[in-house]
Structure 1
């Protein structure tokens, strides 16, 4: 079984293989510029800094003991190609937060904001200025119905981070459920004022997949403790 994700380029794969802390160090350099662009000052700084401060939790792993003594390491991994979808009434701060969260967790990220093209271009420029390659973060230009269908049927699409209403989120989930692509995660921000979804404990983890790395440390013949139990 492969643990790779379906990335398009070696640069995107290299981004995934960085630690979340390393990615956070780079993304921290975008906070001031994003705050200036969005125009919400301290609020933008607080929200984006909160997201980036969770990097260590993404890097943390847990060791689980297997039934036969093998070592099982539970860890997080990027899910793959992610589209951040800004609906017509989407506010800039939650859109930027979705972009930062997706990148922090190692995903190849595309921003689709057809009603806010100038804002999207500025976000791309800010990311490029700190060294984030086009292969890692770019703009998804779909705006026509047929183009949206093509985007959602992309077999590499792993998740969509939508900023919009509850109704728009449900409509998106219904549309994705009818595609022939892989099972696609929907990560929504519908509370665009309080941003309660961002401050939920599982927010960043929704951009990840949990994986288990197993190392067989058992000697030939079985686990010694199990053999001891059977000897009584």
Structure 2
């Protein structure tokens, strides 16, 4: 490969990462209820695509329904000095979602939908079988004036180049165990943050993508601490110290 071609490929990968990161920051800032609403609209459009059938849209509905009680509200954790701590969830960042050619489309769409519900952006290959998946979500986002959270690259070769970038928070994969092992090694050898690998290799039973708590694999936890006491201490103890 010539240097000019290599530089061009590097520039394309950088552009994809920048778009995916921007989309993640915008999408993750949206309240979970709004994301669920947008994804529900997406699932309705998916069900109208004859090339896909009803199952992919139903899979999106299934995971959206079960995600609500898991990540929709924060958990209050009172602190020992009077501060308020709220534990909640957040998307991890851009996720690459990919599948082998003969993988069930409903398994692929399950990973995409869970990544999106959790607040992540998704990078995928613009393959013919993914055309309707991308175009229907694009319709929803255009109508709602929301930045598209799916970034499409030309092919699987381009997708492989993106995976090794440290900005990619994780990879979702549907396919053979041998390919899953190869991806795991590739992620382990890259620089930067540790990337998640979420795989479905049971192409008959789809045991992993049928898990009601699958969305939890795509989130990270965050804590908001609000300290309303004087000088960071317990206000009651401070008052007692003043002799009142």
Q: TM-score range by the shorter chain?
A: 0.7 to 0.9
Gap regions ≥5 residues in structure 1: 1-5
Aligned equivalent of 2:42, options 26, 30, 34: 30
Query: Would you say 1:210 and 2:221 are equivalent positions?
Result: yes
Question: Which protein has the bigger helix share?
Answer: 2
SS in 1 for 2:199: strand
- Shift of residue 155 of structure 1? 2.4
Paired with 1:131 and 1:110, the residues of 2 have a C-alpha distance of 16
Paired with 2:186 and 2:52, the residues of 1 have a C-alpha distance of 33
Query: Would you say 1:66 and 2:67 are equivalent positions?
Result: no
Radius of gyration: which is bigger?
2
Query: Would you say 1:80 and 2:90 are equivalent positions?
Result: no
1:1-232 equivalent positions in 2, closer than 5 A: 8=19, 12-35=24-47, 36-37=49-50, 39-41=52-54, 43-57=55-69, 58-112=71-125, 117-131=127-141, 135-144=148-157, 147=158, 150-220=161-231, 222-223=233-234
| Residue-by-residue CA offset, 1:185-207 (whole Å, 9 max, x unaligned) | 11122233333223324310111
Paired with 2:114 and 2:232, the residues of 1 have a C-alpha distance of 46
Contact map agreement 2:141 2:148 (CA 8 A) in 1: no
- Shift of residue 219 of structure 1? 2.5
- Provide the TM-score with structure 1 as the length reference: 0.81
SS in 1 for 2:101: coil
Contact map agreement 1:76 1:208 (CA 8 A) in 2: yes
Gap regions ≥5 residues in structure 2: 1-16
Contact map agreement 1:7 1:13 (CA 8 A) in 2: no
Contact map agreement 1:78 1:105 (CA 8 A) in 2: yes
In the comparison of the two structures, how many residue pairs are matched? Answer: 219
- Provide the TM-score with structure 2 as the length reference: 0.77
- Shift of residue 13 of structure 1? 2.4
After superposition, the Cα gap between the structure-2 partners of 1:104 and 1:37, relative to the gap in structure 1 and judged at 3 Å, is farther
Paired with 1:37 and 1:228, the residues of 2 have a C-alpha distance of 70
After superposition, the Cα gap between the structure-2 partners of 1:158 and 1:205, relative to the gap in structure 1 and judged at 3 Å, is same
- Shift of residue 82 of structure 1? 0.9
SS in 2 for 1:54: helix
The ranges of structure 1 where at least 4 consecutive aligned residues each deviate by more than 3 angstroms after the TM superposition are 6-12, 35-40, 43-46, 132-135, 224-230
After superposition, the CA RMSD in angstroms is 2.8
- Shift of residue 100 of structure 1? 1.4
